[in-house]
């Protein structure tokens, strides 16, 4: 599964194919992570979650830890 963790990105990579992605409409902002995690929990066919976006590492340390802990709790 692909989880758009944030729309933020500090750079514009030449090869980035997400440059024109409508992040404002599609982002899994922290307020919506709970719903995304529950959907992932309910789909046992998913064995991998890829964090994408902008740059997931641009999240604050506490927010990244919160998301990581939630994902680590998935079966």
Coil/strand/helix, residue 68: helix
Query: For every one of its 75 residues, what pLDDT tens digit does the chain have, with 9 covering 90 and above?
Result: 998 888 777 777 788 776 666 655 555 567 788 889 999 999 999 999 999 877 888 888 999 999 999 999 998
Contact 53, 8 (CB under 8 A): yes
Number of domains in the chain: 1
Residues 32-52 as b or e (16 or more Cβ within 10 Å = b): ebeebbeebeeeeeeeebebe
Domain span holding position 39? 2-72
Between CA 51 and CA 63, with CA 69 as vertex, the angle to 5 degrees is 65
Residue whose tokens read 């998301």: 67
Give the tens place of pLDDT for each residue, 13-33: 788 776 666 655 555 567 788
Coil/strand/helix, residue 12: coil
């Amino acid at each position: 599964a692909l989880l758009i963790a944030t729309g933020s990105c500090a750079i514009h990579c030449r090869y980035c194919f997400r440059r024109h992605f409508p992040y404002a409409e599609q982002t899994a902002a922290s307020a919506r992570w709970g719903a995304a995690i529950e959907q992932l929990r309910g789909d046992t066919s998913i064995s991998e979650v890829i964090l994408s976006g902008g740059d997931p590492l641009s999240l604050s340390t506490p927010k990244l830890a919160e998301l990581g802990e939630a994902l680590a709790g998935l079966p």
